[in-house]
Structure 1
Amino acid sequence: MGTDEHGLAIGAATPAALAHYDTAIDELLHFRAQVVDETRAALAEDPGFPMANVLSAYLGLLTTEPEDAREAAARFREFRAGVEAVRLLPREQAHIEAVEHLLDGGLPACGAALGRIAEEYPRDALALFVGHQLDFFTGDARALRDRIGGALTAWHEDDRHLGHLLGMYAFGLEEAGHYGRSEEAGLRAVELDPKDVWGIHAVVHTYEMQGRFGRGTAFLDERLPDWSTGTFFNVHTWWHYALYALEAGDTSRALEIYDTVLHGPQATGSAFELLDAAALLWRLLLEGRDETTRWKELADAWEPKSREAFSAFNDMHAVMSFVGAGRLADADRLIADREAYLERARPDVTNRAMTARVGLPVCRALVAFGRGDHGAVVDLLAPIRHRVHEFGGSHAQRDAVQKTLLEAALRARRLDLARVLTSERLNLRPSSPFNWLKHAAVAEALGDAAIATTARTRATRLRQP
């Protein structure tokens, strides 16, 4: 028996396997693909190594790809059938039970189990990381903040992964609305490890939520070599860069990023990347941009990935692509399939509730938008606008839904609602040119040309360097 890098007991592992495991955790915290290679190396050294099998399961079960999840589940069940529970350490047994919740589709149950592990073992980086990701997948802002906050006092300045804990904490703070503290923690995380892409990502989110697009662009430019390559998170960070470009009015730059990174020659075609591609093009569609050629290619990529119910959040982006490409029949088929899925899925499967409460209403609204039935969009989205977080993602990602509701309210001339939505946005992010432009559109629709002119002038000034 040995201990891992963070001082936690590890059973049934050779020294070489343990070394690979420690390296795998480091790669995981850096969001680098080498985590898979190091995990396999640990298992090659010791096929029965419990924590390496647990890590392998988490990697597959938390993917955006259903086939990866199935393969990981099969491997873990094979391991589980051959392991003797009496030989497991309590922490290892607790992780195995957490994985079993994931196998059953119970994301909150797994998150709760990992929370109990972190209470007893606050230096368990894997429990904290996986729990943090589950909080993100379930849209639980409080847990995103407090899961990490509750463990931080057990970490020390000389821990090489303290920065990564701070990076996770910064993201939780941002999602919970503590922007000043989030920026502080995120910048400290990046100071401790410039390659901490999650910490960089947290700061980027903070600037996005404050409408500080100029500072966000400069922040990313200053650290370009640290985040733009070498991780499986670089594409998503480029998406944030493109959002900044849209806010600055530089649509050409946003599309350049789309064509070279989000859905370019080097794209892997993973659902994780396709999400960002669809989310960017949808924002352009809402503003009346015709990107049919790009949409058609993207819809072709989404089609094989949308044949089964796996993630309500994925479904939304697949439907965006079908609507953008004019393939409304494909969008209708996806919706019909998910309606049937609700009848056959077990009630304890988290994705079932996500689909019923948020996924299907959003998908139906997107199709209604594509058909020009903007009143139906409002009727579908207005009742759920305060619970969209329930199907996961970040505030920035879910803003596509809120922007769809606002645009539909304007086009349907539901101007009282449009005014409320715009007022909410403007008072939360007064530095956002987008919000001022929508304020202008509402004012113009209400017949107040003076306010509309003033608002457009404000937007123009905000976009000036």
Structure 2
Amino acid sequence: MTTDEHGLAMTGASAAAARHYDRAIHELLHFRAEVDAEATAALADSPGFPMGNVLAAYLDLLTTEAADARSARTRFDAFRRQADESSLLPRERAHLAAVQALLDGDLTACGALLAEITVAHPRDALALAAGHQIDFFTGDARSLRDRVGGALTAWHDDDRHYGHLLGMYAFGLEEAGHYDRSEEVGLRAVELNRRDVWGIHAVVHTYEMQGRFGEGVRYLDARLDDWSTGTFFNVHTWWHYALYALETGDTSRALGVYDAALAGGRTSMELLDAAALLWRLLLEGSDQPGRWRALADAWPPLVAEPFYAFNDVHAVMAYVGAGRIGEAEKLVASREAYALESRPGVTNVAMTSRVGLPVCRALVAYGRGDFGAVVDLLYPIRHRVNEFGGSHAQRDAVQKTLLEAALRGGRHEVARALVSERIGVRPCSPFNWLKQAALADALGDRATAAAARRRATTLTTTA
């Protein structure tokens, strides 16, 4: 019997396989592609290694792509058929159950099982990392915070992955609204590991939520070499950089980031970032037909079957942005049929029914110019959009769609409430004041509109 670098016993692994496993976890926490090679090497050395098979399954299942999930099922089923599970350690059997729940589409059960592993084995880095991603996919801010927070006291400053846990914890704190603490913890994480892209990401989210876009740009610029290349997370961080540019009204800079880093993506994560950026531009009246066409062309194989509602929404954005309303409606119809099927325990069914479909329908309505329908679809669900995953920053595309539809559709009372909410939370956001100005213009209140624009200009120039 071997142990991993954090002292947890593992069966079925040679010493070499265990070291490959440790290196795989290290690469996973850095979001580096080398994790796949190390995980493969571990299984090449010890094919029956339980935790190696568990790791390989998580790596495929957490991409949120159906094709990867099918590959994971084939390999994991083959492993379970030949494994003597009665001889495995309780922690290993618990991981097998968590993977099986994920294969079955039950994200909630998987997250709960991983939480039990973390309580019993708080130094299980894989359980923490996988559980953290499940919390992100389900939009569970409290668990994003407390899953890692509950394990921290079992770790020490001299553990080489302690900083990575702080990075995860900082993101959970940010999503749960603890911005001062999130910044403090995130900065500490990056101090311990300057290439901790998740820690950098947590700080960037914190600045976004506080409207500190100037600081965000300076923070990313100062650490460009640490986050911009070498990971499968750099595209997403560039997306955040572009959001900061949009906040200042610098559309050309945002499009420069798009063309250099986001265009040409192939994974769901890359494509949804691209769609989310172009959609924000579309809401502000900036049509990008060529960029939309290329993006819409890339989506069909990734949403050919229902798997994750969050991805579906961004595919619909791409279709609507490209003017392919028929394709968007076809995707919506397929998800409507899917939502009526009996699939007990499949989390995505509820995500699709409660959030995915209303948002997709609203996006199609927006593309048709039916702004009243957009408001009617989105306003009732605006406080539970988190149920289909993502972060506050990502889901803000939905909230901005609702606000813009209220403004364009003459729903002034709704628009007033939405703008008031945004200004109350982020008074240092130029975007929010510009929307206050747009509303005042619609109401004929030129003095208020002028004052709001002056406030936006001041915030932009002093950031």
TM superposition score category, shorter chain reference: over 0.9
CA shift, 1:64, in A, is 2.6
Equivalent of 1:291, from 282, 288, 291?
A: 288
2:309 equivalent to 1:312: yes
Deviations 1:334-386 (A, max 9, x none): 01101111122503100000000000000000000000000000000000000
How many angstroms apart in 1 are the aligned matches of 2:99 and 2:298? 30
2:69 equivalent to 1:69: yes
CA shift, 1:87, in A, is 1.4
How many angstroms apart in 1 are the aligned matches of 2:58 and 2:132? 12
Read off the aligned partner of 2:132 and give its amino acid letter.
H
Cα pair 1:167 1:185 within 8 Å, conserved? yes
How many angstroms apart in 1 are the aligned matches of 2:304 and 2:114? 31
Read off the aligned partner of 2:384 and give its amino acid letter.
R
Deviations 1:217-238 (A, max 9, x none): 0000000000000000000000
CA shift, 1:214, in A, is 0.2
Structure-1 residue corresponding to 2:448:
451
Read off the aligned partner of 1:224 and give its amino acid letter.
L
Structure-1 residue corresponding to 2:37:
37
How many angstroms apart in 2 are the aligned matches of 1:349 and 1:20? 33
Matches within 5 A, 1:186-197: 186-197=186-197
Read off the aligned partner of 1:273 and give its amino acid letter.
E
Structure-1 residue corresponding to 2:423:
426
Check 1:233–1:442 CA distance in 2 against 1; reply closer, same or farther (3 A cut): same
Cα pair 1:345 1:352 within 8 Å, conserved? no
Structure-2 residue corresponding to 1:356:
353
How many angstroms apart in 1 are the aligned matches of 2:329 and 2:272? 19
How many angstroms apart in 1 are the aligned matches of 2:64 and 2:456? 37
Matches within 5 A, 1:238-277: 238-264=238-264, 267=265, 269-277=266-274
Equivalent of 1:370, from 367, 374, 389?
A: 367
Q: Higher mean Cα deviation, 341-350 or 160-169? A: 341-350
2:93 equivalent to 1:96: no
2:458 equivalent to 1:461: yes
Deviations 1:176-215 (A, max 9, x none): 0000000000000000000100000000000000010000
Structure-1 residue corresponding to 2:326:
329
Structure-2 residue corresponding to 1:282:
279
TM-score of the superposition, structure 2-length normalised? 0.99
Matches within 5 A, 1:15-414: 15-264=15-264, 267=265, 269-414=266-411
CA RMSD of aligned residues (A): 0.8
CA shift, 1:106, in A, is 0.2
How many angstroms apart in 2 are the aligned matches of 1:307 and 1:278? 17
Deviations 1:423-445 (A, max 9, x none): 11011011110001001111222
How many angstroms apart in 2 are the aligned matches of 1:318 and 1:98? 29
Q: Higher mean Cα deviation, 335-344 or 398-407? A: 335-344
TM-score of the superposition, structure 1-length normalised? 0.98
The runs of at least 4 consecutive aligned structure 1 residues that moved more than 4 Å come to none
SS at match of 2:299: helix
How many angstroms apart in 1 are the aligned matches of 2:177 and 2:446? 34
Read off the aligned partner of 1:250 and give its amino acid letter.
D
How many angstroms apart in 1 are the aligned matches of 2:382 and 2:342? 25
How many angstroms apart in 2 are the aligned matches of 1:157 and 1:67? 39
Structure 1 unmatched ranges of 5 or more:
none
Read off the aligned partner of 2:84 and give its amino acid letter.
E
How many angstroms apart in 1 are the aligned matches of 2:323 and 2:39? 43
How many angstroms apart in 1 are the aligned matches of 2:328 and 2:118? 42
